[in-house]
Amino acid sequence: MSPLDPTQPQILRDPFSRRLFVERCASMAFGLSVLPWMRSEAMAADGGPGFGLAKHIIFLQLRGGMSHIDTFDPKSGATKGPKGGMTAKGGMQLSEFLPNIAKVSDKIAVIRSMTAKVGVHASAQYFMRTGYEQRGTIKHPCLGAWAQTFLGPSNKTLPSSVCVNHGSEHGNGFFPATLSPLPILDPESGLQHSQPAAGVAAVEKRLSLVKDIDRAFREKFPDENVKAYSDFYDATLQLMKSSDLKAFDISGEPEKVRESYGRSKFGRGCLLARRLVEHGVRYIEVSSGGWDMHTGLEDRMEEVGADFDKAFAALLGDLDSRGLLKSTLVVVASEFGRKPNFDGSGRGHYPKAFSTVLAGAGVKRGFVYGATDEAGAEVTDGEMSVGALHASIGWAAGFPTGREVMSPSQRPFKVGNNAKPVKELFA
């Protein structure tokens, strides 16, 4: 065929246009813009230390705004707060509120140079979960949905993403409903109502009947959203039949292990996360509330901070002892930090400078990235955005972070909103 053949569409003449054409066809057919052969090409181009080592991600979200000064970036002087710093392994300074984490600090990398502009809880939490600032016109996906888009399902019967201690809002974003995370509101209760009263066989029969009734409509009006919900019901039925449901039951854990995580809801959530990793779930988000410490900071840190300190240290030790830490990336993130000025009771919201933590899956151990000034008010070295954090997590998990994915409205998006991975974090 001649390159000037007027019957040949222009989009098929140019190699880049042909690829775009194929991607858009895939988008219309499957709700995706990335094909497996394209993923391999992008992944090969990324490469480097730590790339793709994170087969699992545990994302610990401390809701309310963790004070960096009273946790991972302690300061001396009048603004230091109720407790100063302490020397952890390797000379890393951590707050005295974190004695258990200090013992395992040789396993973590602390990022002290996070910065953002969003200082309102709901919007900042959305930002930290998705890597994008909240917009009224579109919902952005969390990292679990990106992972399933690029890498496929992580388990034949269990969900690829689970949210513990909160709902799954904003989970799948603009991706199909099948990529929405499974919410577990109480880790002690596990996956409730997983077995219907009428029995799995009866539910399967009913769903089959519904499909028969709907078949004519689906054939006449093919729509990816309708298909997504049909696939969601199929996945639910598979889960009901799965022997892996025991992964959601922490009651079978030895008492010594349960006690090591603590009795808090967050501690139980971390224990559940470890069990889910063992059973092949790729992305688990565990929420901890109560970090909005405008007043009573010392008392709240003695309570909420102590629960976090115990659970996080236990999680790292447990994963490491089972050989899972080398393939599991553990992330500690909060929507923002707290003001350097300590008024004798608490601190206000402060997105300008705060800390996050990474551990496992090729992350440098006992490492500090970036710095703030003496008051903890300004980032002085290694400024890092929320988007860069997401890009770094995605890079560790083997995402083609430079690849654009088209939303249903044909707008291009990337993991971390065009930010680049910070490869210095990885060994």
pLDDT in tens, 193-204: 444 555 556 655
Q: In angstroms, rounded to a whole number, what is the distance separating the alpha carbons of residues 224 and 408?
A: 10
Q: 308 falls in which pLDDT band (50, 70, 90)?
A: very high
What residues does each domain of the chain span?
A: 31-190+249-425
Pick the range with the lowest mean pLDDT from 212-226, 292-306, 360-374, 390-404: 212-226
Q: How distant, in Å, are the alpha carbons of 19, 102, 107, 240, 351 from that of 315?
A: 44, 14, 11, 28, 27
- Check whether 35 has a pLDDT greater than 60: no
pLDDT tens profile 47-106:
678 899 999 999 999 999 999 999 999 998 767 778 878 889 888 999 999 999 999 999
Neighbouring CB atoms inside 10 A of 195's CB total 12
Most confident of 19-28, 81-90, 114-123: 114-123
Segment 335-342 shows an average pLDDT of: 94
- Residue whose C-alpha is closest to residue 349's, from 65, 72, 97, 140: 65
- Check whether 148 has a pLDDT greater than 70: yes
Q: How distant, in Å, are the alpha carbons of 1, 2, 19, 376, 427 from that of 6?
A: 10, 9, 20, 65, 54
Segment 317-334 shows an average pLDDT of: 98
pLDDT at residue 244, rounded to an integer:
80
For the domain spanning 31-190+249-425, the CATH number is 3.40.720.10
Q: What is the pTM of this model?
A: 0.82
Determine whether 64 is exposed, middle or buried from the number of CB atoms within 10 Å of its CB (0-12, 13-18, 19+).
buried
Residues with Cβ < 8 Å from 107, sequence gap 6 or more? Answer: 316, 320, 325, 359, 360, 365, 366
Q: What angle do CA 317, 162, 229 make, to 5 degrees?
A: 165
Query: What do you get for the CA distance between the two ends of the chain, in Å?
Result: 51
Q: In angstroms, rounded to a whole number, what is the distance separating the alpha carbons of residues 71 and 48?
A: 31
pLDDT at residue 240, rounded to an integer:
55
Residue 213, helix vs strand vs coil: helix
Neighbouring CB atoms inside 10 A of 117's CB total 12
pLDDT at residue 76, rounded to an integer:
81
Going by their DSSP bridges, the two strands 328-334 and 354-359 should be labelled as antiparallel
Residue 288, helix vs strand vs coil: strand
Please give the structure tokens belonging to residue 325. 């830490």
Q: 230 falls in which pLDDT band (50, 70, 90)?
A: low
Mean pLDDT, all residues of the chain: 84
pLDDT at residue 17, rounded to an integer:
41
Pick the range with the lowest mean pLDDT from 32-46, 76-90, 179-193: 32-46
Query: What DSSP letter does each residue of 322-351 carry, written as one string?
Result: TT-GGGEEEEEEES-EE-S---SS---EE-
Q: 288 falls in which pLDDT band (50, 70, 90)?
A: very high
Question: Between 11 and 239, where is the model more confident?
Answer: 239
Q: 39 falls in which pLDDT band (50, 70, 90)?
A: very low
Which ranges in 162-305 belong to alpha helices (H)?
A: 200-220, 224-241, 255-261, 265-278, 297-300
72 bridge partner residues: none
Q: How distant, in Å, are the alpha carbons of 31, 211, 330, 414 from that of 142?
A: 16, 30, 15, 12
Residue 280, helix vs strand vs coil: coil
Most confident of 21-25, 215-219, 250-254, 381-385: 381-385
pLDDT at residue 343, rounded to an integer:
83
pLDDT at residue 126, rounded to an integer:
96
Q: In angstroms, rounded to a whole number, what is the distance separating the alpha carbons of residues 150 and 39?
A: 7
pLDDT tens profile 390-403:
999 999 999 999 99
Q: In angstroms, rounded to a whole number, what is the distance separating the alpha carbons of residues 65 and 81?
A: 16
Residue that has been written with the tokens 């992305």 in this structure: 283
Question: Between 172 and 167, where is the model more confident?
Answer: 172
- Check whether 121 has a pLDDT greater than 60: yes
Q: 118 falls in which pLDDT band (50, 70, 90)?
A: very high
Pick the range with the lowest mean pLDDT from 207-211, 328-332, 336-340: 207-211
Please give the structure tokens belonging to residue 108. 């973590």
Q: How distant, in Å, are the alpha carbons of 71, 91, 298, 333, 353 from that of 356?
A: 10, 18, 21, 5, 10
